[in-house]
Amino acid sequence: LALNVTGASATSRVYDQGLNVVVSGGSIAPITGDTVTLDATAAAGTFATKAVGTGKSVTVTGYTISGADASNYSLVQPTGLTADISALSLSISGLSPSKVYDGGLVASVSGASVSPISGDTVTLDVSGASGAYADKAVGTGKPVTYSGFAITGADASNYSLVQPAGLTANITALALNVTGAS
């Protein structure tokens, strides 16, 4: 007799490049009086793709049954389970906006980089990025605000780019040379 596993659930997770899904719970309903126990210790699920998405189908394996009457049943693994893979936050590093006084508010975006999971194709796009100091005066620990960074590449949709925040930098005094003295 076919014995279906019901009530199992799959756990949503953050993108990690893998296909594995944690599966838990479940119950069976053998004929009253039969001794059959469900074992979920080896239960596992897999997604068809690693990509971020909601309501992704999960294929389940690993449930087993035991007990005096287990041989009278064929276990049917849970079906219809779904879970989500949410985007992994990707931070920008390497910004060094300190500069020599130039009368402006512009902060450099050079040196910015991201570190996706090894093997993923994700590139930081700085073409629309900008940085600005709160004011142009010489000083240390001056707030710098950035925006406009983006990511591109085959795996970019699996990530959520976090714009730099809470950065500070220094503006040092511009050296002025006296010329024309005699």
Identify the H or E element spanning 83: strand 82-86
Are the C-beta atoms of residues 77 and 5 closer than 8 Å to each other?
yes
Residue 182 confidence (pLDDT): 86
**SS3 of 1, please?**
coil
Q: In what order do the strands lie in the sheet with 99-100?
A: 99-100, 167-172, 139-147, 130-133, 106-107
Distances (CA, A) of 107 to 82, 102, 124, 132, 138: 46, 11, 18, 5, 13
pTM greater than the 0.75 cutoff? yes
Please report, in tens digits, the pLDDT of each residue of the chain (182 residues total).
999 999 999 999 999 999 999 999 999 999 999 999 999 999 999 999 999 999 999 999 999 999 999 999 999 999 999 999 999 999 999 998 999 999 999 999 999 999 999 999 999 999 999 999 999 999 999 999 999 999 999 999 999 999 999 999 999 999 999 999 98
Determine the Cα–Cα distance for residues 108 and 95; give it in Å rounded to an integer.
8
